[in-house]
Amino acid sequence: MSVAASWYLTLAAVLFTIGAVGLLVRRNVLVMFMCIELMLNAANLTFVTFARELNDLGGQVAVFFVLVVAAAEVVVGLGIIVSIFRRRPGATADDANMLKG
């Protein structure tokens, strides 16, 4: 028994919205980071869904690319976050506004 593609797409849309809203409303840097991951995986889910629906491997390949990028991003992003916390424990995203014009 196969689940209709629309369910997957709906799930992906919900996940993406949660991620986007979370990114906008939360101040905790780690939570914002996880929200980004959430959005990336929502996009991945969409890719996979369409790959199956259209019988096209290209979608699955794209997922691999996204995963690689996400992994690289985690390395860099976590590095930055850790260094911020080291200097200012309990900092929020709004505390790092040194690039204000």
Partner 1 sequence: MIHAAFLIPTLPLAGFCLLALFGRRLGNPLAGYVATGAIAGSFVVTVLVFAALFTHAPASRIVVEPWFTWFSVDRLSVSVGLQIDPLSMTMAAFVTGVSALIHLYSIGYMAHDRQFTKFFLYLNLFVFSMLMLVLSDNFLVLFFGWEGVGVCSYFLIAFWFERPTAASAGKKAMIYNRIGDAGFLVALFLIYERTGSLQFTQVFARLGHLSGSNLAAIALLLFVGAVGKSAQLPLFPWLADAMEGPTPVSALIHAATMVTAGVYLMCRINPVLHLSPDAAHTIAWIGVATAFIGATAGCAQTDIKKVLAYSTISQLGYMFLAAGCGAYTAAIFLMLAPAFYKALLFLGAGSVIHAMDDEQDIKKMGALAALMPLTAFSFLIGWFSIAGVPPLSGFWAKGAVLENAWAVSPALWAAGALTAVITAYYMGREYLLVFTGEARWTARHDPASHSGGQPTDPRRVMTFPLVVLSVCSVFGGLIDIPWHPHLDFLARWLAPVVGANELVHHETSGAVVGFAVVEGALAVTGVALALVLWRGVVNRPALEPRFLLLAWCIDTAYDRFIARPSEAMAAFTASVLEVRVIDGAVNAVAGLARATGSRARRLQTGYVRSYALGLVAGTVVLIAYLLVRVKG
CA distance 39 to 35: 6
Closer residue to partner 1 in complex, CB, 3/99: 99
Residues 30-69 that bind partner 1 (CB under 8 A): 32
Q: How far is the CB of 79 from partner 1 (least distance, A)?
A: 16
Per-residue tokens: 50: 């369409």
Answer yes or no whether residue 81 interacts with partner 1 by CB under 8 A: no
Q: What sign has the CA pseudo-torsion 48, 52, 58, 64?
A: positive
Interface stretch with partner 1, choices 55-63, 70-78, 81-89, 91-99 (CB under 8 A): 91-99
Cα distances (angstroms) measured from residue 54 to each of 5, 23, 47, 49: 11, 32, 10, 9
Binding site for partner 1 (CB under 8 A): 20, 23-25, 32, 93-94, 96-101
